[in-house]
Amino acid sequence: MIFMPETKEKELTESQPSGAQRVPAPCVMVIFGASGDLTERKLVPALYYLSRAGLLPKGFSVIGCAKTPYTSETFRDKMQQAVKKYLDVPSSDYQAVNDFTQDVHYIADDFGNPTAYDQLKSLLDHLDNQRGTGGNRLIYLATPPSFFPVIVGHLGSTGLAQPKQQGETWTRIVIEKPFGRDLTSARELNGIVNGAFKEDQVYRIDHYLGKETVQNLLVFRFGNGIFEPFWNRRYIDHVQIAVAEEIGIENRGAYYEEAGLVRDMIQNHVLSLLSLITMEPPAIFEAGAVRDEKSQVMRAIRAIPLDRPSEFAVRGQYVEGWTEGQKLPAYRAEPKVSPQSTTETYGALKLFVDNWRWADVPFYLRAGKRLPKRISEITVKFRRAPHLLFRGTGTTSIEPNHLSIHIQPDEGMSLMFNAKIPGTTMKIQPVTMNFRYEDAFGAAPQTTAYETLLLDCMLGDPMLFTRADFVDLAWELLTPLLNRWKEDGRKGLSFYEAGTWGPPEADAFIERDGRKWQEL
């Protein structure tokens, strides 16, 4: 069964505001760490996508900043190849790619050195005059987190953190995750950032929040009249959130040894999904109101009892395994990883949101590297029917209904319910109704989420970005557990073969509660 939209073309036209396709004011985007993987794989391809869609302003320009000794010409060539590769651009569009990259510039310098910012300031002023960018600047930190305080400090001391003309131009900064590595470091970083920028200039990016299905959660919950009445403890038994990755750590051993799975995935992506699933309806659809409700969820999450952490958390690490005939190395065999490492590559948590709506409903979160497939999914498990009416027909049990929200790779939603199998006897079988973007709208979402988020930054819309108080509350929840794991060392660390769904202890973890993980 397929859900199809029934909206008529006229209704769509009338329901959209006149400014539905918003184009920002002319601006320059400055990318620190421009020679890195993020710029090549995500940022510049996303900007090209926006350009082809007519969503970039006239005169829009990019300045890449890094130590790698490129010239503007060699950097443009590199970005041209990146766009063609990662967007699978047909040869007929190669000229358009080349034209787009003519507005890309590069500065090779050590941006730990304050004199490097003189060169940046000079190029920004030149582009304002030549390209008409008006003094509007979007600054993107695509560097390792250790460089954040250094760059932010220099931006503040050189005056580049403040708008060129107060009240007439804007300057905004985008900061990649992880924002800190624990509560103390996050607060220190917030102090540094807010010493140079005002909070409304700061955009802490989590690319998951730009995915179509994640954004659709708000429409699903608050744009329909049939779901919200049973979106509570009375009808929902538990909720599962899973973020599985098929890949390993991809030559990021040094980073992962410092971070681990909880810092890399759960503190940001997974807790953001949890907040959207559980938040109360905001008074208005406006960034401040939405982010207020997300932070309220974080305040309501019960602290993890550290006297019995194994009842509420499992940590695992992958060992050698196989997938499709290919041998996969153990985490400890990865480059720049300690042979005695206790860093987790898998994590499972059980959390409770202690408020009126969700009291006593468990939320099971799990994420991991080197699992069988790349998939992110939220599953809402409803309570069983209160009485087995069909016992006399030979039916001994009926599956509880569940709603699955598929975030990646196949974005959509599915609702499982029970139905009678055709025939002369009463036999019951679960069936599923599916909503898929491709079926409903003719195509699956083509964006990578960065397109939406970069455009929102230029427009000054922070709704899909993480506010300082949310970051603080997330670290307040997880830092005690991370500290406990560090103290425990090898004790309590479970292992799983690469290419499997995690350690056996994770299955026992949820089965102790009489539940099981949803098959992804």
Tens digit of pLDDT for each residue in 251-300?
A: 889 889 989 999 999 999 999 999 999 999 999 999 999 999 999 999 99
Is the CB of residue 45 less than 8 Å from the CB of residue 86? yes
Q: How far apart, in whole angstroms, are the C-alpha atoms of residue 157 and residue 165?
A: 17
Angle of helix 44-52 versus helix 72-86 axis, rounded to 10: 70
Q: What is the pLDDT of residue 244?
A: 97
Burial status of residue 47 (CB atoms within 10 A of its CB: 0-12, 13-18, 19 or more): buried
Q: How far apart, in whole angstroms, are the C-alpha atoms of residue 63 and residue 353?
A: 44
Q: How far apart, in whole angstroms, are the C-alpha atoms of residue 350 and residue 360?
A: 11
β-pair partners for 475: none
Cα 342 from chain centroid (whole Å): 25
Q: What is the pLDDT of residue 392?
A: 66
Return the biggest CA–CA distance within the chain. Answer: 84
Q: How far apart, in whole angstroms, are the C-alpha atoms of residue 490 and residue 344?
A: 10
**Identity at 439, one-letter amino acid code:** D
Per-residue pLDDT of the chain (520 residues; tens, 9 = 90+): 444 444 433 333 333 343 456 789 999 999 999 999 999 999 999 999 999 999 999 999 999 999 999 999 999 999 999 999 988 888 888 999 999 999 999 999 999 999 999 999 999 999 999 999 999 999 999 998 889 999 999 999 999 999 988 888 999 999 998 899 999 999 999 999 999 999 999 999 998 888 888 888 999 999 999 998 999 999 999 999 999 999 999 888 988 998 999 999 999 999 999 999 999 999 999 999 999 999 999 999 999 999 999 999 999 999 999 988 899 999 999 999 999 999 999 999 999 999 999 999 999 999 999 999 999 999 999 998 877 777 667 666 788 999 999 998 888 899 998 888 888 778 888 889 998 887 788 766 666 789 999 999 999 999 999 999 999 999 999 999 999 999 999 999 999 999 999 999 999 999 999 999 999 8
Closest alpha carbon to 128 in 102, 162, 164: 164
Q: How far is CA 196 from CA 13, 140, 162, in A?
A: 43, 15, 8
* DSSP, residue by residue, 113-149: STTHHHHHHHHHHHHHHHH--TT-EEEEE-S-GGGHH
Q: Which helix (H) or strand (E) holds 76?
A: helix 72-86
pLDDT tens-digit map of 445-476: 666 789 999 999 999 999 999 999 999 999 99
Q: Which of 256-276 are b and which e, b meaning 16 or more Cβ less than 10 Å from the residue's Cβ?
A: bbbbbbbbbbbbbbbbbbbbb
Q: How far apart, in whole angstroms, are the C-alpha atoms of residue 405 and residue 418?
A: 19
Q: How far is CA 362 from CA 67, 269, 358, 393, in A?
A: 48, 19, 8, 33
Q: How far apart, in whole angstroms, are the C-alpha atoms of residue 38 and residue 288?
A: 29
The two beta strands, 402-408 and 412-420, are: antiparallel
Catalytic annotation present for 402:
no
Q: What is the pLDDT of residue 1?
A: 40
Is the CB of residue 373 less than 8 Å from the CB of residue 409? no
Q: How far apart, in whole angstroms, are the C-alpha atoms of residue 202 and residue 197?
A: 7
Which residue has 């010493």 as its token pair? 195
Name 96's Cβ contacts closer than 8 Å, sequence gap at least 6.
52
Q: How far is CA 103 from CA 33, 80, 493, in A?
A: 18, 12, 50
Domains of the chain: 24-176 (3.40.50.720), 209-446+459-511 (3.30.360.10)
Angle at 396 between CA 395 and CA 398, to 5 degrees: 80
Residue of 207, 238, 269, 406 with catalytic role:
269
Is the CB of residue 245 less than 8 Å from the CB of residue 371? yes
Tokens of 4: 């199809």
> Before 409, cis peptide (omega within 30)?
yes
The two beta strands, 104-108 and 61-66, are: parallel
Q: How far apart, in whole angstroms, are the C-alpha atoms of residue 272 and residue 28?
A: 29
Q: What is the pLDDT of residue 334?
A: 95
Q: What is the pLDDT of residue 17?
A: 40
Is the CB of residue 411 less than 8 Å from the CB of residue 377? no
Is the CB of residue 44 less than 8 Å from the CB of residue 83? yes
